[in-house]
């Protein structure tokens, strides 16, 4: 094992691990990030479609994503890196009374925790999104502060700025064990050596459970797969990310937005979930999502699809992340189970983890951590998965 002692070792250089390394290094800590892939953001990060919203049903996620939006929206101005931030907003649309009721009920919580969101009736929503199918439209929520950015450009930006501030990275290196002594972390063992630390952060995304097991722990994170696609670029015609939470055969919901380049990026949530780590795209995705998108927005009918891909969502039983210290092993910190929202949660979570390691938590941090505790009952349910 090396004689150098790191302030923290982060397992995973992805949507959570990279901003965590950045915020730790910016605060003067010396973290080491270890990843089995060859470069930053090569796990689930590169499969993300780039949506960033604080429009959630849980106070913890609203607060974390508001912080993330603050980071993403000011990144280029602050650090000079173009991460393709675009503040187009989000809109959850309602064509049935059931969805209208769900969305309106959530407004109270969302607004109470600082989210700029409002309900628009049919006519007002059509002013924001003119190409929505008006037939049966009841209205929808609109949160103009939400947006999108490039997952890969963001990953590179966090990586570059973290390194400038003293963070170290080891790629093509696999963690094989957590070294423990008298009930606490003292280091990490890999297939290429060992490193000393008193803090290990599990930010391993879909592989979080296997990484926890290396420490003799278990965490209820099970990956499932979602498919996404992108079209040819066309003239801009829609600003917000459009989300339709009506379930249909084979899917729970779907969503799409127009990228800064003009391409339309889209994704679907399968129902039942496709559990496992298979990342090969399928032949059923496009026939399932295309008719729904065209029915919602007929203007999409003649736009050509360029490609599709498949990524992994590290899911928890209740749809909420798991963030907190392990009781069974001192110095072991979970930042797992982001449920497919690691990209939008990442900066907020990373900033929080840095404060946890520095023991500088605020009362708001404590409330967030209570909600996302590894030891909660997991009996709640995220209403806007």
Q: Which of 88, 82, 81, 92 is nearest to 55 (CA)?
A: 92
State whether 366 and 240 are in the same domain. no
- pTM greater than 0.85 (yes/no): yes
State whether 163 and 306 are in the same domain. no
State whether 95 and 126 are in the same domain. yes
CA distance 132 to 360: 47
Q: Which of 194, 226, 203 is nearest to 40 (CA)?
A: 203
Q: Which of 30, 355, 13, 22 is nearest to 161 (CA)?
A: 22
Count of CA atoms in the C-beta half-sphere (13 A) of 57: 15
pLDDT at 276 over 90: yes
- Evaluate whether residue 57 is within a structural domain: no
Which residues in 264-320 belong to E strands, given as ranges? 264-270, 274-275, 305-315
CB 13 within 8 A of CB 304: no
pLDDT of residue 380: 79
**CB burial string 279-296: b at 16+ within 10 A, e below:** eebeeebbebbeebbeeb
- Evaluate whether residue 103 is within a structural domain: yes
Q: Give the pLDDT confidence of 31-47 residue by residue, as tens digits.
A: 999 999 999 999 999 99
- Evaluate whether residue 323 is within a structural domain: yes
Helix axes 59-79 and 151-164, enclosed angle (nearest 10): 70
State whether 119 and 256 are in the same domain. yes
Our measurement of the distance from residue 92's CA atom to the centroid of its chain's CA atoms, rounded to an integer in Å, reads: 18
Q: Give the pLDDT confidence of 161-198 residue by residue, as tens digits.
A: 999 999 999 999 999 999 999 999 999 999 999 999 99
Sequence-separated contacts (24+) of 98-104 with Cβ below 8 Å: 99/245, 99/246, 100/138, 100/139, 102/245, 102/383, 103/140, 103/141, 103/245
State whether 130 and 236 are in the same domain. yes
3-state secondary structure of 115: coil
- Evaluate whether residue 379 is within a structural domain: no
- Evaluate whether residue 68 is within a structural domain: no
pLDDT of residue 79: 98
More confident residue, 3 or 375: 375
Q: Which of 280, 315, 350 is the last residue of a domain?
A: 315
CB 287 within 8 A of CB 280: no
Q: Which of 353, 351, 363 is nearest to 199 (CA)?
A: 353
State whether 274 and 261 are in the same domain. yes
- Evaluate whether residue 27 is within a structural domain: yes
CATH number at residue 197: 3.50.50.60
Q: Could you list the residue range(s) of the whole structural domain that residue 99 is in?
A: 88-145+222-315
pLDDT at 365 over 80: yes
State whether 42 and 171 are in the same domain. yes
- Evaluate whether residue 361 is within a structural domain: yes
pLDDT of residue 385: 66
* Pick from 2-6, 132-136, 161-165, 268-272: least confident: 2-6
pLDDT at 53 over 80: yes
Our measurement of the distance from residue 327's CA atom to the centroid of its chain's CA atoms, rounded to an integer in Å, reads: 25
Over the chain, what is the mean pLDDT? 97
């Amino acid at each position: 094992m090396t004689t150098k002692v790191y302030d923290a070792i982060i397992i995973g250089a992805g949507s959570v691990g990279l901003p965590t390394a950045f915020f730790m290094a910016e605060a003067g800590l010396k973290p080491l990030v270890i990843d089995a892939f060859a470069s930053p953001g090569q796990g689930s990060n590169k499969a993300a479609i780039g949506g960033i919203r604080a429009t959630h049903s849980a106070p913890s996620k609203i607060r974390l994503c508001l912080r993330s939006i603050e980071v993403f929206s000011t990144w280029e101005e602050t650090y000079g890196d173009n991460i393709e931030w675009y503040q187009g907003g989000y809109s959850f649309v309602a064509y049935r009374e059931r969805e209208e009721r769900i969305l309106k009920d959530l407004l109270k919580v969302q607004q109470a925790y600082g989210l700029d969101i409002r309900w628009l009736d049919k006519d007002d929503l059509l002013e924001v999104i003119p190409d929505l199918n008006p037939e049966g439209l009841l209205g929808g929520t609109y949160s103009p502060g939400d947006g999108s950015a490039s997952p890969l450009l963001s990953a590179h930006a966090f990586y570059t700025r973290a390194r400038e501030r003293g963070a170290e990275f080891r790629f093509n290196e696999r963690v094989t064990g957590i070294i423990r002594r008298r009930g606490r972390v003292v280091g990490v063992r890999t297939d290429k050596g060992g490193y000393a630390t008193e803090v290990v952060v599990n930010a391993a995304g879909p592989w979080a459970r296997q990484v926890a097991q290396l420490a003799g722990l278990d965490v209820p994170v099970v990956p499932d797969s979602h498919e996404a696609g992108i079209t040819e670029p066309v003239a801009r015609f829609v600003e917000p990310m459009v989300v339709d939470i009506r379930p249909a055969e084979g899917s729970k919901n779907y969503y799409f937005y127009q990228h800064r380049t003009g391409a339309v990026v889209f994704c679907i949530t399968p129902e039942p979930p496709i559990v496992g780590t298979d990342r090969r795209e399928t032949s059923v995705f496009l026939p399932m999502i295309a008719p729904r998108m065209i029915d919602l927005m007929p203007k999409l009918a003649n736009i050509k699809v360029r490609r599709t891909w498949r990524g992994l969502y590290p899911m928890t039983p209740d749809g909420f992340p798991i963030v907190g210290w392990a009781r069974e092993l001192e110095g072991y910190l979970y930042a797992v189970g982001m449920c497919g929202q690691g990209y939008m949660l990442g900066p907020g979570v990373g900033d929080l983890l840095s404060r946890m390691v520095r023991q500088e938590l605020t009362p708001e941090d404590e409330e967030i951590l209570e909600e996302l505790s590894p030891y909660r009952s997991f009996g709640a349910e995220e209403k806007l998965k």
